[in-house]
Amino acid sequence: MSRVLQVSGLGMPFDAAAGDGVGLEGIDFALDSGQVLGVVGESGSGKTTLARALAGLRPIRSGSIQVMGEDLLPSGQVPGHLRHQVQMVFQNPVASLNPRMTILQSLEEPLKVHQSGMPGEQRQTRARQMLDLVGMPATALSGYPHQFSGGQCQRIAIARALMVQPSLLICDEVVSALDVSVQAQVLNLLMSLQRELGLAMVFISHDLAVVRHISDRIVVIYRGRLLEQGPAETLCGQPAHPYTRDLLAAVPGAGPARHHQAVAVAEALPGGCSYRHRCELASPVCQEQAPVLADVAAEHQVACHHPLIN
């Protein structure tokens, strides 16, 4: 396996105008080809900020993001010759498609940008192939987004992202806007495509049960900080951070319900552990000093002064 994505000490400024819920601070993780990295956290934790950074849509304040061994530009943008390697599927499938363009036009657009020399007939052939790959008929090419359901539009959006044969696919809450029955279909489709095409995938969601189902490794973030990361089964089977345990407890049937005191997302929490105001294990050191990531098991790290496992 080759290293597709390397994130080191990533810091992102808070930008309300861009719709960010929170900035990021000191994010570190890696992703190899053929692997799925799940990123989980509640609303306002910084998941979408991270997705935009990985896709080259936001400038970086500190640290670095490497795609295929090359750093993103100082502006945060992916270098031109690598842009086709990083593609993103967005949360709202209907809004992500241009309502004035046919499905064929939407699918052809990435090829016109990244492979401008490709003949029109070849673009149309690729479009039909991608629609077939995501389980949509070729007759959809002449339709417009409003003529399709949310699940169908998400399949089309996935096909569009795959048109340029990327190495890294970023999926930002791609099933949260869909009906529960359709969610399972889209998840199974993504898992099948990821295996078949050997994609590296970053799958972002607030639902730990969904992330556990699809991911090889999981990163847990809260208020812009990475609290825990490790193999999916290890992290979910034996969480080391109280926040991860509480996320698991919120999944129906995953364990006894827990209650904690909520803190408004916009509340400033300078210094110390970002989760200390909601954690029953918090002590004076949690107030005074931010914990750093440390190994608790093989490939399993946690940033906590009082980890649940040692």
Instruction: Please compute the mean of the pLDDT values over residues 164-169 and round it to a whole number.
Output: 95
Output the CA angle 262-266-267, nearest 5 degrees: 65
Counting beta carbons within 10 angstroms of the beta carbon of residue 106, is it exposed (0 to 12), middle (13 to 18) or buried (19 or more)? buried
User: Measured between alpha carbons, how far apart are the two ends of the chain, in Å?
Assistant: 30
Q: What does the DSSP 8-state code read for residue 262? A: -
Q: Which two tokens stand for residue 226?
A: 């990475």
Whether pLDDT at 209 is above 50:
yes
* 115: pLDDT strictly greater than 60: yes
Q: Which residue has the higher pLDDT, 268 or 89?
A: 89
Report how far residue 108's alpha carbon sits from residue 76's, in angstroms, rounded to the nearest whole number: 26
Burial profile 195-220: b = 16 or more Cβ within 10 angstroms, e = fewer: eeeebbbbbbbbbbbbbbbbbbbbbb
Site of tokens 């040692």: 310
In this predicted structure, the answer to whether residue 66 has a pLDDT above a threshold of 90 is yes
- Over range 45-53, report the average pLDDT: 92
Query: Model confidence at 21, in pLDDT bands (50, 70, 90)?
Result: low
CA distance 245 to 23: 23
Topology of domain 3-220, per CATH? Rossmann fold (3.40.50)
Domain assignments of the chain as residue spans, ordered by start: 3-220, 221-302
Average pLDDT, the chain: 89
Least confident range from 11-15, 92-96, 123-127, 132-136: namely 11-15
Cα distance between residue 133 and residue 135, in whole Å: 6
Q: How many CB atoms lie within 10 A of CB 69?
A: 10
- For residue 262, the model assigns a pLDDT of 41
Model confidence at 17: pLDDT above 70? no
Helix 180-197, helix 150-162: angle, nearest 10? 20
Residue, of 108 and 14, whose pLDDT is higher: 108
Distance CA(239)–CA(247), nearest Å, equals 10
Both tokens assigned to 293? 């990531």
| Tokens linked to 49 | 């900020």
